[in-house]
Amino acid sequence: MAKKKWDKTFEERFEKHYDELKWLYAELYNNDMQAFEYFCNMLYDYYKARSKKLKLWDAGREVVNDWFAGNEMLGMLMYTNAFAGDLKGVRQHLDYLEECRVNYLHLMPLLCSPAGRSDGGYAVSDFRNVQPELGSMEDLAALSDECHARGISVCLDFVMNHTSEDHEWARRAKKGDKEYQDRYFFFDNWDIPNIYEKTVPQVFPTTAPGNFTWCEEAGKVVMTSFYPYQWDLNYRNPVVFNDMTANMLYLCNQGVDIIRLDAVPYIWKTLGTDCRNLPQVHTLVRIMRMATEIVCPGTLLLGEVVMEPSKVVPYFGTVDKPECHMLYNVTTMASTWHTVATKDVRLLKHQLGTVFALPKQYVFLNYLRCHDDIGWGLDYRFLEQFGMQEVSHKKYLNDYLKGAWQGSDARGELYNDDPRLGDARLCGTTASLCGIEAAEDEGNDDKLKRAVTLDIMLHAFLFTQSGIPVLYSGDEIGQKNDYGYHDDPHKKDDSRYLHRGDLDWNSVEKRKEEGTRQQKIFDAICKLADLRSSNRVFENEADTWIVETYNDHVLGIGRYYRGEKLIALFNFSARDETAWINEEEEYEDLLTGDKASAKAVCVPANDFYWLITRF
């Protein structure tokens, strides 16, 4: 291709990837070399536009390319408005984030999105502008600048599967402009959509049934896998890919360090398939990875792949041809809540065994709760051996976590309950699911104590795993469900708003009052974070294994790294239980500093131990 006079750094990075880039692009886009040339020149434009300051970060991170994989990393996920009103407000509360030990800030979607048809910001109508109530692009750049000065990385969603029906492309398509209709999936009638429907599952079976919507203005059917106002982009069209990659690089140039590739498995559609995780998706992600390595190598790609483990791991790519830098550890998250509800650790042991066997370069993002529901994507083949069947087991989990099961103090709500499929998902905050809400409502101090212990134990388990732990804003003080969404016409049909309430700053203040639930949880999480970052046994490269406890209520995890060995024990039962372990060395309780034995350890109800020994 005809190369322009390029800067040396760009040229070097480009050369490194050129052959593969060209090959993949040509294969995907039928040798459309004009589109490829446009793509390459576009990369250079964004490289040129990148600030000197960000280029310096890039240079540093190219040298220490695993900068994000250390044990000092701690993330927090939040809605800008729920946390502090707007971007300026977030900036004013950065001291608080530092107090929480947070150095990775994931701001939920904040680009322009129509009110009432936004899916929490996941229906973007303008990829270059911030939702006015939240601030401006300048505010975002200023916030990331200040975050960087404090050593905090910023993560932002890149909603790439679809645009809002109000996006300029969609508006033109509605008017009948063929060029813009070709950026989406338009059909003259329902014939082809009906064939798709035979093989494509539904994302929101009750809140947004079907994968297509009739567009009155265009007089055509349009593909809408998520909500009817979220129009799927057609990545078979190279113009879409070129322009969307440009949109992504634009965000990177505002100082965004981590790009969360929203709903990435869905971006390629082929008739007759389930339209999930198709090989072309991996080609697109690989090209985007190369694009960031060329333009902004300090940027990371975080894939949102909420799928079963066999579908998730391929998004890391290979050592030679990496795709995402990080992926969500979604199955461990769901298996954790299964364990809360069943008090039986066998599935979690099995799941962690799978994760522990993966190469250590794979960095997972671990979490207890996020803005979405908990989907019960568990290993049912494994559970079958204990007589647990998928549909009835999902019902049990939902009943338990809704508090409908006798003895359960959890308070959750169902999400997308489709009685035909029996596969409802579940919503609720960590605190409410742990029983804090029920205990406080009843004014039952004993219950509250137990619920707080469980909440802290789950955080300790989160911090024991390799990878990056990400807290959901509010969890650091045990924030409860917000039922206010029931009265909001824009939100009432989407129970995910149950756990998307505003952060209650009065409640945050209570972290300073000795003996409050807020203080207990806040201090415990800070302590866990401090211990995690100051003991190298929590490094990502540590060896990890399951410690057999001979007790199905107690999970045992071992970690070893450079002369430090940790035995972590988590009791998921509401009674004291013994972990029948027999470790020879002399241990210390990492939390208290007291001497401890690691033989037949009695772990209090819903509590945990971190036992460490140094060689």
What are the residue numbers of the active site? 262, 304
**What is the dihedral angle through the alpha carbons of 162, 166, 167, 172, rounded to the nearest 10 degrees?**
110
What are the helix (H) ranges across 465-572? 505-509, 517-534
What is the dihedral sign for C-alpha 128, 134, 138, 139? Answer: negative
Least separation in angstroms between CB 155 and ligand GLC: 13
* Alpha carbon distances (Å) from 157 to 40, 121, 161, 444: 24, 10, 12, 40
Smaller CB separation from ligand GLC, 262 or 577? 262
Least separation in angstroms between CB 371 and ligand GLC: 6
Smaller CB separation from ligand GLC, 57 or 122? 122
Smaller CB separation from ligand GLC, 81 or 518? 81
Angle at 322 between CA 319 and CA 326, to 5 degrees: 110
CA atoms within 13 A on the CB side of 3: 11
Smaller CB separation from ligand GLC, 263 or 547? 263
Residues in contact with 143: Cβ distance below 8 Å, sequence separation at least 6, in sequence order: 87, 90, 91, 154
Phi and psi at 500, nearest 5°, equal -120, 30
Least separation in angstroms between CB 369 and ligand GLC: 13
Least separation in angstroms between CB 208 and ligand GLC: 10
Phi and psi at 158, nearest 5°, equal -120, 105
* Rounded-to-integer distance, Cα 259 and Cα 427, Å: 25
Least separation in angstroms between CB 269 and ligand GLC: 15
Query: Which contiguous run of DSSP H or E holds residue 331?
Result: helix 330-342
The answer to whether the CB of 170 falls within 8 A of the CB of 160 is: no
Smaller CB separation from ligand GLC, 429 or 535? 429
* Rounded-to-integer distance, Cα 591 and Cα 523, Å: 12
Smaller CB separation from ligand GLC, 218 or 263? 263
Strand order in the sheet with 220-223: 186-187, 220-223, 212-215
Strand, helix or coil for residue 587: strand
* Rounded-to-integer distance, Cα 398 and Cα 175, Å: 45
Smaller CB separation from ligand GLC, 372 or 588? 372
Smaller CB separation from ligand GLC, 463 or 472? 472
* Rounded-to-integer distance, Cα 352 and Cα 339, Å: 13
SS3 per-residue string spanning 484-497: HHHHCCCCCCCHHH
* Alpha carbon distances (Å) from 356 to 70, 424, 528, 537, 557: 17, 29, 21, 15, 10
Least separation in angstroms between CB 365 and ligand GLC: 13
Give the residue closest to ligand GLC by C-beta.
122
Angle at 248 between CA 34 and CA 16, to 5 degrees: 60
Smaller CB separation from ligand GLC, 159 or 457? 159
How far is Cα of residue 123 from the mean position of the Cα atoms in its chain? 18
* Alpha carbon distances (Å) from 438 to 382, 394, 413, 459, 487: 32, 22, 14, 20, 22
Smaller CB separation from ligand GLC, 77 or 579? 77
Least separation in angstroms between CB 225 and ligand GLC: 8
Least separation in angstroms between CB 375 and ligand GLC: 10
Least separation in angstroms between CB 207 and ligand GLC: 10
**Binding-site ranges for ligand GLC (CB under 6 A):** 119-120, 122, 159, 226, 262-263, 304, 371-372
Residues in contact with 412: Cβ distance below 8 Å, sequence separation at least 6, in sequence order: 398, 401, 402, 403, 426, 427, 428, 432, 433, 481, 498
End-to-end CA distance of the chain: 59
Least separation in angstroms between CB 214 and ligand GLC: 21
The answer to whether the CB of 41 falls within 8 A of the CB of 4 is: yes
